[in-house]
Structure 1
Amino acid sequence: MSETILEVKNLRTYFKRKDGIVKAVDGISYKLGRGETLAIVGESGSGKSVSVTSIMGLIKTSRVAQVQGEAIFKGQDLFKLSSRKLRDIRGNEISMIFQDPMSSLNPTMKIGEQIIEPLLWHGKANRTEAKQLGLKLLEEVGIPSPETRFNNYPFEFSGGMRQRVMIAMALIGNPDLLIADEPTTALDVTVQAQILGLIQEMQKKKNTSIILITHDLAVASSFCSRVIVMYAGHVMEEGPMSEFIRNPVHPYSQGLLNSTPILGDKRERLEAIKGQPPNLKNIPIGCPFAPRCGKCMDICRREAPPVAQVGVQHNVYCWLCADQTQRKEGPRNGKE
């Protein structure tokens, strides 16, 4: 791996409720190299979005939330920085494309002002330069008549066009790390390809690192070099994307791929994963996927699985891949 730009260590994000504690993210760790593109995939509610909003400092320890662990970005632990220092980093060195453009744009501000705000806030350009960059980006993300649209309000845009505005806002500062949370959900296929191409072009120019959160394994496999599979706040499998697509090892990973339509596949029916994800207030003891796993063993229901290396930088958290010594001794990944 190239120089590490982000290292997440044992990240846990819990939410306190009257009826219990929701363990949205429960001890995940990974590294991201400079210029690398990492996909985080999994079902809704697996903790993908919560993990990255925690890293961004948008979820902080309070009366109702608890964030633990480390997020080392360019040698600094983001969780230990002051609010002012975090503001200097967000929108400048780290940008994020949020999942919901309907609620992420300020309805009282013209979209042009919102797009150029990061440049003005961080002193990267004067207003004239910022406007020219904003108009150029609006055109690149496929907004027609950018001169006119620059002065429109969010309610004058469709959902897909608001999504493109969000993408322009994230890209305008040329960040070192771009976090994209379902960036192409509201876009049609042709615009989706255009946007992903624009992000890749920016990545090549500045060697930007990218975390892509998506349900679309087809997009992830064509865009990302590495993948992390999450389930119930845990990492199930991680490794190079090419090897993951060719040889998924964890039963949950296999289930995700088997339920994904593939062009040219002659199967009459897709194979859905049976059952439902667990209640995050009451995650099963042992492997969280055990109640839905067709290959579950007794030990899977008793103890958290250890990490097993099944290839070069390809790790799986599953008792099926553990050797006999690990099965006798129990997990070695720090989980209890």
Structure 2
Amino acid sequence: MATPPFLELTTRAREIFRLVVEEYLDTGVPVGSRTLAGGGALNLSPASIRSVLADLEKLGLLAAPHTSAGRLPTESGLRLFVDGMMQVAEPTREERAAIQSRLAEPGPIEAALEATSAILSDLSACAGVVMVPQREARLKQLSLVSIAERRVLAIMVGDDGAVENRIIELAAPVQAAALEEASNYITAHLAGRTLAEAGMAMRTDIASGRSALDAASHDLIERGIAVWSEDAARRPVLIVRGQANLLDESAVSDLERVRSLLDDLENKQSVADLLDMARDARATRIFIGSENRLFALSGSSVIASPYRDREGRVIGVVGVIGPTRLNYARVVPMVDFTARSLGRSLDKFIG
């Protein structure tokens, strides 16, 4: 059944529906007519409220887990609430300060991404997730050091300050002079280029006769660039922190749902694919329960927002994963603020 537009509900139905959703999101307990009548916000009898609740249930916006129980919002009801009724609460001064101070801490780009995932987890009581910027590394320096007759250690430094060590297996021994020549060539001629650009530039120089590299040095550079490129392609694209937050009181009575959720989180590529759907969004995206296939069984929600560089280009996605009973009004603007803060903090690495 299609969710009715917000304006098709009567004023009374909208108010009762809003109160049910807000009470449920706050307590996690189905909401009954006596609770609503006793709250003082409605000048209606329990019988009148029950009639409206029944109508909202017929519309597919509320559900009753048991015959004698109160009502709770369905996924369709939560979607209607989020899109048409929710009043967002901007992050508090303390929350903004906490986010900004964590992102201002010195360290490599990985530390900023780790901090983002951790602070979102802490503040939202959910699992915080950050998709690593999908960009090609740019070379700054490369050193090649012989560690065995046919093995070379490649020490590679990216323009973001990241240092990586890789072992290169050689088909035949190489002289120390070739190692030095290859190291000097990359640093002098290929610095500032992506791996693909560096490989193309080197091959162009050799083909045109502008390079004095001998065959051994050429092979070393090709192998070094290939090793780094291959490793980058295999690198995890997602940082997840705070899975323990998902083990709340409801987990005791619904262990299968939590087990399903934790299994889903282990599949980082699938989570990254889901977050990638938010890359083209102008604002924060909200996926509720079965709206995404990945978390359909666990009944979880995802709130995600793209973060951008100083030129407005999307370079990654940040968000939280938690139960559908989230404080959307608080978490949505928090994710949005974190995404904007992260984009600004990464300027020092990718500017």
Higher helix share: 2
TM-score by length of 1: 0.26
**Greater strand share, 1 or 2?**
1
The two structures have a TM-score, normalised by structure 2, of: 0.25
Structure label with greater radius of gyration: 2
